[in-house]
């Protein structure tokens, strides 16, 4: 796991407002293995809309 429980993300372009809460539910369920690098694609083609969800910061692996 990473040093923090969550990594902040953003969409590469505006996401349709009508589906934003559906997207947020999917993002909340998403699990990504650390390490994560800033600008890494976290979710490709989110909800089939052709819009990627991108990590907005690095998340190094936690020292165990």
Whether residue 61 is contained in a domain is answered as no
With 0.85 as the threshold, say if the pTM is over it.
yes
- Please write the tens of the pLDDT for every residue from 18-52: 999 999 999 999 999 999 999 999 999 999 999 99
Whether residue 22 is contained in a domain is answered as yes
In the predicted model, what is the mean pLDDT of residues 53-59?
98
Whether residue 27 is contained in a domain is answered as yes
Residue 50 lies in domain: 9-55
- Which 8-state DSSP code applies to residue 20? H
Number of domains in the chain: 1
Q: Which residues pair with residue 9 across a beta bridge?
A: 55
pLDDT of 63:
87
Q: From CA 42, how far away is CA 52, in angstroms rounded?
A: 8
Task: Give the burial class of 52: count Cβ atoms within 10 A of its Cβ; 0-12 exposed, 13-18 middle, 19 or more buried.
Answer: middle
* 64 pLDDT higher than 80: no
Reported as a pLDDT band with limits 50, 70 and 90, residue 17 is: very high
Whether residue 60 is contained in a domain is answered as no
Whether residue 19 is contained in a domain is answered as yes
């Amino acid at each position: 796991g990473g040093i923090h429980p969550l990594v902040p993300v953003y969409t590469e372009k505006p996401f349709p407002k009508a589906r934003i809460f559906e997207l947020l539910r999917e993002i909340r369920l998403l699990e990504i293995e650390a390490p994560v690098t800033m600008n890494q694609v976290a979710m490709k083609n989110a909800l089939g809309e052709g819009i990627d969800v991108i990590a907005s910061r690095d998340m190094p692996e936690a020292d165990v």
